[in-house]
C-alpha cells in the first residue's frame, strides 16, 4: 500500500436534489465513526453551497465535478477555480471520460484545468482511461500514459499534489469492471510514470474508477497500487457507499 489511508470519492454526476442530498448525507454521516479512510463527495455545482453547509465540520471533504480552463471572463456557464474555492472545495474532478467524450476535452485542456485547480489549492482528480477499442487493440498503456503525460508536462513542479483516477471507459456505468489484476497492471504503469516525474510519487493516490461497487470494492482495494476509488452510481446509495468506505478502512 502506497498511501497511509485510502481515498474514496463519490461522483454524483448529474443527480441530486436539495431533499435527496440532505437525506443521503445524514445517513452517511450517522455512521462515519466506523470509517477510517479519507472520503469526499463531488457534487453538481448548483449544490456546492448546500453541501458546504452539510459537510461542514465533518470528515467528508467537498468536491466539484469540473472547473473552467479559464481564470475568469466572458465564459457563460463556466465555473472558475476561484469560485470553487469560495465554497471550500477540496477536490475537483478533471478530464472525466464523459467530459472528454461529450465535451471534446483534449489532454491539453485537462492539463490546464488541473493547473487552475492547483493554483488555488484545490486537488485535481485527474481521470485517465482507455476505450474498449483501445484496450482490444493493445493500446491501454499508450493511452493512459499520453493522458497523464500532458498533466505532468503542465504541472511538473507540483505533480505530487494531484490525485489520479484510472477509469477504463468500457467499465463506466456498464456494470463491467476491470479485474483486480487488470486494474493493478494499469495502476502500476501510472505509478512508474509518476516516479519518473517526481521523487514524491508515493504521495499521489491512484484511484480506480470503473463500476466499483459494494461487491467488488474489497478485492480491488487489496491491490498494492489501488489507493482508493472514484465511485459513481454506488455513491448515491448510502448503504452501498458506506459499505465501500468500510472496505477501504480495513
* Active-site residue, selected from the candidate residues 105, 130, 161, 167: 167
Nearest to 6 by CA among 238, 224, 233, 152: 224
> Domain residue spans in the chain?
7-248
Banded pLDDT at 29 (limits 50, 70, 90): very high
- State the pLDDT confidence band at 95, using cuts at 50, 70 and 90: very high
DSSP H/E element including 126: strand 123-128
Query: How far lies 143's CA from each of 70, 113, 132, in Å?
Result: 26, 19, 12
> Is position 130 annotated as part of the catalytic site?
no
pLDDT value of position 1? 36
Q: Which residues pair with 231 in a beta bridge?
A: 10
What distances in angstroms separate CA 165 from CA 111, 188, 204, 231, one per listed residue? 14, 13, 10, 10
Residue 204 C-alpha from the chain's centroid: 12
Could you please state the CATH topology (level 3) that the domain comprising 7-248 is classified under: TIM Barrel (3.20.20)
Residue 236 in this model has a pLDDT that exceeds 70: yes
pLDDT reported for residue 123: 98
To the query of whether residue 70 is one of the catalytic residues in this protein, the response is no
pLDDT tens sequence across 96-121: 999 999 999 999 999 999 999 999 99
Q: Compute the C-alpha angle 209/48/19, nearest 5°.
A: 95
- Name the percent of the chain lying above pLDDT 90: 90
pLDDT at 180: 94
Q: Are 79 and 73 in contact (CB under 8 A)?
A: no
Q: What is the pLDDT of residues 166-199, one digit of tens each?
A: 999 988 877 778 899 999 999 999 999 999 999 9
Write down the catalytic residue from 96, 98, 105, 161.
96
pLDDT single digits (tens) 50-74: 999 999 999 999 999 999 999 999 9
Amino acid at each position: 500500500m502506497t498511501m497511509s489511508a485510502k481515498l474514496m470519492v463519490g461522483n454524483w454526476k448529474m443527480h441530486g436534489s436539495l431533499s435527496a442530498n440532505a437525506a443521503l448525507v445524514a445517513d452517511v454521516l450517522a455512521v462515519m465513526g466506523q470509517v477510517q479512510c479519507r472520503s469526499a463527495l463531488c457534487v453538481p455545482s448548483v449544490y456546492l453551497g448546500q453541501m458546504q453547509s452539510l459537510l461542514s465540520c465533518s470528515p467528508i471533504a467537498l468536491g466539484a465535478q469540473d472547473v473552467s480552463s479559464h481564470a475568469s471572463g466572458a465564459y457563460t456557464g463556466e465555473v472558475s477555480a476561484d469560485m470553487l474555492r469560495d465554497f471550500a472545495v477540496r477536490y475537483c474532478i478533471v478530464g472525466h471520460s464523459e467530459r472528454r467524450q461529450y465535451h471534446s476535452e483534449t489532454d491539453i485542456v485537462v492539463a490546464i484545468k488541473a493547473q487552475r485547480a492547483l493554483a488555488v489549492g484545490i486537488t485535481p482528480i485527474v481521470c485517465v482511461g482507455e476505450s474498449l477499442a483501445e484496450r482490444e487493440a493493445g493500446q491501454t498503456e499508450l493511452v493512459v500514459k499520453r493522458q497523464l503525460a500532458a498533466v505532468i508536462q503542465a504541472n511538473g513542479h507540483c505533480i505530487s499534489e494531484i490525485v489520479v483516477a484510472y477509469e477504463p471507459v468500457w467499465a463506466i456505468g456498464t456494470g463491467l469492471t476491470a479485474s483486480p489484476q487488470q486494474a493493478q497492471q494499469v495502476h502500476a504503469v501510472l505509478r512508474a510514470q509518476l516516479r519518473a516525474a517526481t521523487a514524491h510519487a508515493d504521495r499521489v493516490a491512484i484511484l480506480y474508477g470503473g463500476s466499483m461497487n459494494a461487491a467488488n470494492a474489497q478485492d480491488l482495494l487489496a491491490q498494492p497500487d489501488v489507493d482508493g476509488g472514484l465511485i459513481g452510481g454506488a455513491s448515491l446509495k448510502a448503504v452501498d457507499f458506506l459499505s465501500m468506505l468500510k472496505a477501504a478502512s480495513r
